[in-house]
Amino acid sequence: MSSYKIPVIPGDGIGPEVITEGKKVMEAAAELFQFDISWIDFDIGAERYIKTGKLIEEEELKELSRYKAIYLGAVGDPKVKPGILEKGILLKIRFYFDQYINLRPIKLLKGVETPIKNKKPEDINFLVIRENTEDFYVGIGGRVERGKSKQELELARDLYSIKFGLDIEHDADEIAYQIGVISKEGARRVIEYAFERSMERRKNLSSVDKANVLSDIYGFWRDVFGEVSKGYPDVETSFYFVDAITMWFVKNPEWFDVIVTPNMFGDIITDLGAMIQGGMGLAPGGNINPSGTSMFEPIHGSAPKYKGKNVSNPIATIWAGSMILETLGEKKAAKTILDAIEENLSQRVALTRDLGGDSTTKEVGDAIVRMMKNIEQK
């Protein structure tokens, strides 16, 4: 019998309550499909940070690196200045483990209403593959007062290290700048992953950029895409500017099968994607390093307003759990979870408020467990 240990970071706000349901469903899947699952809880998040100043410690990262998949609830708390927890925990994990793929399925499940008129589940079913370690997320920039100054900026990665030395002289009141970086290998590896995923699907891959204006950085992305595409003559490819693709997401979502995008545009278009698939409560994401430690999470935040109220939708988190099982090779269990989620939605058995129901977070988890058992008995 296979046996899996999964590190869990429930985190802040509604994180712990949605993670509880996710674990419950995965445990039920383990029982049905006869594997063993156990959890290692990590107390990482706002509360500990406020008490001790600790975000995520080097030893914790080392410990986490022993596992294939981390299960994360949410981080973020209004008591902590915006950015501290996000950068110190979430982005830290993505960068430390070089999780260069951010996989976000945009799929309208049966029974879910999309805000886009006349679109059906068969019209909204694509994958966004967001580059997850570079672009304007590399964290180098600064604010500079009037006059002359020197700035040393450093970027140290497993893939490469870069030093920028800037001599700045300006007579504006004050300026700020941020440097975005895309490396050839950084782009190549995620684009290649996207082509591989396209080969398993409808063989249609779209690349997103803004090469008409930010032509150095995104012109480079486009060139790398062009090079990688030569290895996949069977995949039909298209380029979209990021502004235009937001329009097509709403007007013709059925055009898309797999989309690959640099980091920041991926961040933006996947919130739109989440809405067209029925809302943030239904959108999971995987931060993937195919040969290392990955992390799976709902893409929504910690929703502090709803903390402890037992009203939040746990489906995004349960779906993220299904993605973990898929990664671990438990394909049948992963599929059964997704089928049970869909069954629950289409029969409207237990729906939280965001979906027009009045069920609690816990009732949704329980209903999905029941549905899984039914599906398995059929």
Q: Which residues bind Mn ion (CB under 5 A)?
A: 267
Q: CB of 176 within 8 A of CB of 231?
A: no
- Give the one residue of 40, 61, 91, 375 binding ligand IPM; rule: CB under 6 A: 91
Is 90 a residue that touches ligand IPM (CB under 6 A)? yes
Residue 98 binding partner per list ligand IPM, Mn ion, none, with a CB distance cut-off of 5 to 8 Å that depends on partner kind: none
Query: What is the enclosing helix (H) or strand (E) of 86?
Result: none
- Give the one residue of 77, 131, 257, 267 binding ligand IPM; rule: CB under 6 A: 267
Query: Min. distance of Cβ 280 from Mn ion in angstroms?
Result: 10
Residue with tokens 């100043």: 53
Question: The tokens of 143 are what?
Answer: 């604010």
Please state whether beta strands 284-288 and 101-107 pair in parallel, antiparallel, or not at all (unpaired).
antiparallel
Which amino acid makes up residue 198?
A: S
Q: CB of 312 within 8 A of CB of 361?
A: yes
Choice between 86 and 196, CB closer to ligand IPM:
86
Please state whether beta strands 125-131 and 101-107 pair in parallel, antiparallel, or not at all (unpaired).
antiparallel
Choice between 91 and 250, CB closer to ligand IPM:
91
Query: What is the enclosing helix (H) or strand (E) of 124?
Result: none
User: Residue count at the site for ligand IPM (CB under 6 A)?
Assistant: 5
Residue 337 binding partner per list Mn ion, ligand IPM, none, with a CB distance cut-off of 5 to 8 Å that depends on partner kind: none
Q: Which residues contact 288 (CB under 8 A, 6 or more apart)?
A: 99, 100, 101, 102, 103, 294, 327
Q: Which residues contact 266 (CB under 8 A, 6 or more apart)?
A: 102, 104, 128, 129, 130, 131, 132, 208
Residue 187 binding partner per list ligand IPM, Mn ion, none, with a CB distance cut-off of 5 to 8 Å that depends on partner kind: none
- Give the one residue of 27, 31, 86, 354 binding ligand IPM; rule: CB under 6 A: 86
Q: Which residue is nearest to ligand IPM (CB)?
A: 86
Query: Min. distance of Cβ 266 from ligand IPM in angstroms?
Result: 8
Choice between 267 and 363, CB closer to Mn ion:
267
Residue 91 binding partner per list ligand IPM, Mn ion, none, with a CB distance cut-off of 5 to 8 Å that depends on partner kind: ligand IPM
Region from 20-28, 86-94, 188-196, 329-337 binding ligand IPM, contact rule CB under 6 A: 86-94
Choice between 267 and 342, CB closer to Mn ion:
267
Residue 64: count of CB within 10 angstroms of its CB = 20
How far is Cα of residue 169 from the mean position of the Cα atoms in its chain? 39
Residue 285's Cβ-side half-sphere holds a number of Cα atoms within 13 Å equal to 29
Query: Min. distance of Cβ 181 from Mn ion in angstroms?
Result: 20
Residue 76's Cβ-side half-sphere holds a number of Cα atoms within 13 Å equal to 18
Region from 56-64, 84-92, 244-252, 273-281 binding ligand IPM, contact rule CB under 6 A: 84-92
Region from 1-9, 83-91, 206-214, 341-349 binding ligand IPM, contact rule CB under 6 A: 83-91
Is 299 a residue that touches ligand IPM (CB under 6 A)? yes
Residues 146-205 interacting with ligand IPM (rule: CB under 6 A): none
Site string for ligand IPM, 35-74 (x = CB under 6 A): ----------------------------------------
Region from 37-45, 85-93, 157-165, 223-231 binding ligand IPM, contact rule CB under 6 A: 85-93
Q: Which residues contact 215 (CB under 8 A, 6 or more apart)?
A: none
Query: Min. distance of Cβ 315 from ligand IPM in angstroms?
Result: 17
Give the residue among 89, 69, 7, 6 at the shortest CA–CA distance from 323: 69
Sheet of 36-41, strand order? 36-41, 3-11, 69-74, 294-298, 284-288, 101-107, 125-131, 258-261, 204-209, 236-241
Choice between 113 and 271, CB closer to ligand IPM:
271
Query: Min. distance of Cβ 299 from ligand IPM in angstroms?
Result: 6
Choice between 48 and 87, CB closer to Mn ion:
87
Rounded distance between C-alpha atoms, residue 208 and residue 206, angstroms:
7
Binding residues for ligand IPM, rule: CB under 6 A, are 86, 90-91, 267, 299
